[in-house]
Amino acid sequence: MDIARSPNMEILSDLRTRALAGGGLHRIDEQHGKGKLTARERIDLLLDAGSFEEFDALKVGRTGLIDAKAAQPGDGVVTGHGTIDGREVFVFSQDFTVIGGSLGEAHSQKICKVMDLAVTAGAPIIGLNDSGGARIQEGVDALAAYGEIFHRNVQASGVVPQISCVMGPCAGGAVYSPSMTDFIFMVDSAAYMFVTGPSVVKTVIHQEITSEQLGGARVHASKSGVAHFTAANDIVCLREIRRLISYLPSNNRQKAPLLDLRDPAERDDPALDFLVPPNPNQTYDMNVLIYSILDGAEFMEVHPQFARNIICGFGRLGGQTIGLVANQPAVLAGVLDSDASFKAARFVRFCDAFNIPLICLVDVPGFMPGPDQEHGGIIRHGAKLLYAFVEATVPRITVIVRKAYGGAYLVMNSKHIHGDVIYAWPSAEIAVMGPKGAAEVIYRREIQAADDAEAFLKEKMEQYRRTFATPFLAAQRGYIDDVIYPRNTRKRLIRSLQVLEGKQARAPLRKHGNIPL
Ligand code: HXC
């Protein structure tokens, strides 16, 4: 029989047309009216033009199997694979125009299929979330459907990068799938995430609050730390996901792709010799150093609005992706607190899982003191960062720029926790504590007895600063590998990365460690 004349061709064409139409023109208009793109428009922008291969466009939910009229081909989610800059990724994009993008059994099976294939093929999985949550009409089957996704989120963790993009509602238990992935993007105004919504908040704790205030993009990017990135709209968001993918390997067996930005490895920057102010109490912006050393001055900061006293993000050195962790003296003097420790620990673990070398730029006066931090568990949270660095087997290189005091010095990828190459600038101060604290402890009695206590303390601080608050004691002991000229930082880092290219380190055999969560 001539296939082109087969009745199935017509059926296929009809089903495809219905699948492509989603919830229909009216609902698509509503979606656009909210400033949101449709599921398919989003995929088109995310992937290289014409690269999308769709799966399960014809799949319908259980109700659709029984009642053909209720059958919506695709069941509210578009799934498949395509490329970003020529590299394969798997994707699912929830279609809010179909039953509010709600998730039932078939919808979940489609997502699970691409998640399974992503792991099998060793390619990232990107989820574009825009959903009313568990499909109420499917009852416990909808909850079971979420469970299957959660299971796969954990199985895929550390195997392929998982990226979530929240572009609409994401409420109740549904939030736990994105939260178990590696990075969450949220779109300003359109996206919100919460475990219990404003109406429940009002009933239970009698507080009026909007969705935006409770779980909007800004709140999660700056306060809770749930969102790693925010974007003004869908278009910017999808472009940023493409940018993130460019820094990452496709799976945990590969290294990130090299990208030559034609920035000479030998390039020096004499201005760096003047970055650190002569007065140790004066601040400066660590971003100056970061943008100076990285290839093409390109840096993708993760969590830019959360725990700003530490900077984490991706850049390239000599074409190779690196994960950068840097104290920011311009915010809270660069002190380590609970949020900063959590933020950096999760970032370090991601880099380690995906073979991305770590560069650590240190200017840390210590851990944040006070009952708020102590009672909030800074011991637990600080331990996360310590654990994460110790556990990491990727190349680990540190530059001590200025302050490196006490436990915080050890935590920030020091030689003592087996950092591979440790450099210090001449401005480095590596000691148990800062000059004032040290002089006050050592000379407590003498200060009390002195005629001019202030002058005495000042003299002792100066003495301490000259003797201890320098890089030279640590250099004499071999705890740092070299004191380098600031202007040469870029080339020294690139050389170190080259020499550590073949680093092999093995963790002892065990089921898994027990990081202080
Ligand atoms: C079935 C749903 C749905 C859901 C929305 N719809 N959510 N259908 N199950 N969960 C349907 C609506 O009935 C409507 O259909 C269409 O989708 C569009 O929804 P609207 O309400 O018109 O849109 P909007 O005004 O933009 O409001 C969006 C919304 C709201 C805020 C998401 O729909 C809503 O509150 N939905 C329920 C959210 C919820 O409680 N979900 C369960 C969360 S708990 P019609 O045909 O009328 O246009 C959860 C548990 C997960 O998900 C557990 C995992 C372990």
| Cβ atoms within 10 Å, residue 111 | 25
103 lines ligand 1 (CB under 6 A): no
Measure 102 CA to ligand 1 centroid, in angstroms: 7
**Percent of the chain surpassing pLDDT 90:** 84
For the segment 474-499, what is each residue's pLDDT rounded down to a tens digit? 999 999 999 999 999 999 999 999 99
Average pLDDT, the chain: 95
For the segment 25-50, what is each residue's pLDDT rounded down to a tens digit? 999 999 999 999 999 999 999 999 99
Three-point CA angle 30, 192, 123, nearest 5°: 95
> 9 or 499: which carries more pLDDT confidence?
499
Output b/e per residue, 23-57; b: 16+ Cβ within 10 A.
Answer: beeebbeebeeeebbbbbbbbbbbbeeebbebbbb
Task: Note the maximum CA span of the chain.
Answer: 110
Measure 100 CA to ligand 1 centroid, in angstroms: 6
Start-end of H helices in 136-210: 140-156, 176-179, 198-205
Measure 77 CA to ligand 1 centroid, in angstroms: 15
61 lines ligand 1 (CB under 6 A): no
Q: What are the chain's domains?
A: 7-247 (3.90.226.10), 270-433+469-499 (3.90.226.10), 435-468 (no CATH)
- Atom number of ligand 1 nearest to Cα 99: 17
Which residue reads 């935006």 in tokens?
A: 212
3-state SS of 427-487 is: CCEEECCCHHHHHHHHCHHHHHHCCCHHHHHHHHHHHHHHHCCCCHHHHHHCCCCEECCHH
Report whether pLDDT(288) > 80: yes
Report whether pLDDT(376) > 90: yes
Sheet of 183-187, strand order: 53-55, 77-84, 87-94, 125-129, 162-166, 183-187, 229-231
pLDDT-based confidence at residue 174 (cuts at 50, 70, 90) = confident
Q: Which residues pair with 193 in a beta bridge?
A: 170
CA–CA separation, 511 and 111 (whole Å): 28
174 lines ligand 1 (CB under 6 A): yes
Contact 398, 439 (CB under 8 A): no
Catalytic positions, please? 172-173, 407-408
Global confidence as pTM = 0.95
Residue 451 to residues 316, 446, 455: CA-CA distances in angstroms? 56, 10, 9
Contact 136, 104 (CB under 8 A): no
Give the strand pairing for 77-84 and 53-55.
Answer: antiparallel
Residue 38 to residues 98, 164, 187, 241, 242: CA-CA distances in angstroms? 11, 16, 14, 17, 18
Report whether pLDDT(68) > 70: no
Task: Look at residue 506 in the predicted model and tell me its pLDDT.
Answer: 85
For the residues 157-168, what does the mean pLDDT come to?
Answer: 98
Contact 362, 419 (CB under 8 A): no
104 lines ligand 1 (CB under 6 A): no
